[in-house]
Amino acid sequence: MKRYLPAIMVIISVITIASGLAQLLLPGFVLGFIGAETNLLADHFFRIIGMFMALFGGLLLHTVYNAIPGRTAVIWCALQKLGAAAMVGVAVWDGLFSQLALGVAAFDLLSALLLFSYFNYLRRYESV
């Protein structure tokens, strides 16, 4: 599986960028899809979250395509995914999001685990 990690990172990056842009551009639609309340304030804060998701996805994509991928960027992207999974889980627990949002949390948790694996995979570049 290790040889597929860079390709998996690209897929995670693209999904993160796309979902972040969806939250940024269509917050009411996305919030409604996951069963959350929509209003101007919720939409505004969801747009901010979407912006940062798109930025972290872009950072990861940029890192994967660097001649020597930076482990620092990867660990911060992994922590972002881990935090996102936890906060979506909390939102479901608190009744802010529907059970459907657990799919989002699961994707973020799996992404975090894969990112931690990619972080370790990149040790081979440290001697370069």
DSSP class per residue in the chain: -GGGHHHHHHHHHHHHHHHHHHHHH-HHHHHHHTT----HHHHHHHHHHHHHHHHHHHHHHHHHTSSS--HHHHHHHHHHHHHHHHHHHHHHHTTSS-GGGHHHHHHHHHHHHHHHHHHHHGGGGTT-
State how many domains the chain has. Answer: 1
Is residue 110 included in any domain, yes or no? yes
Is residue 51 included in any domain, yes or no? yes
- Which residues constitute the domain of residue 115? 2-122
Per-residue pLDDT tens over the stretch 6-37: 999 999 999 999 999 999 999 999 999 999 99
Is residue 128 included in any domain, yes or no? no
Give me the chain's average pLDDT, please.
94
What is the structure's pLDDT at 3?
86
Is residue 92 included in any domain, yes or no? yes
Per-residue tokens: 94: 């608190």
Is residue 94 included in any domain, yes or no? yes
Per-residue tokens: 95: 């009744």
CB atoms within 10 A of CB 89: 18
CB atoms within 10 A of CB 78: 20
Per-residue pLDDT tens over the stretch 76-116: 999 999 999 999 999 999 999 999 999 999 999 999 999 99
Is residue 25 included in any domain, yes or no? yes
Check: CB of residue 22 under 8 Å from CB of residue 47.
no
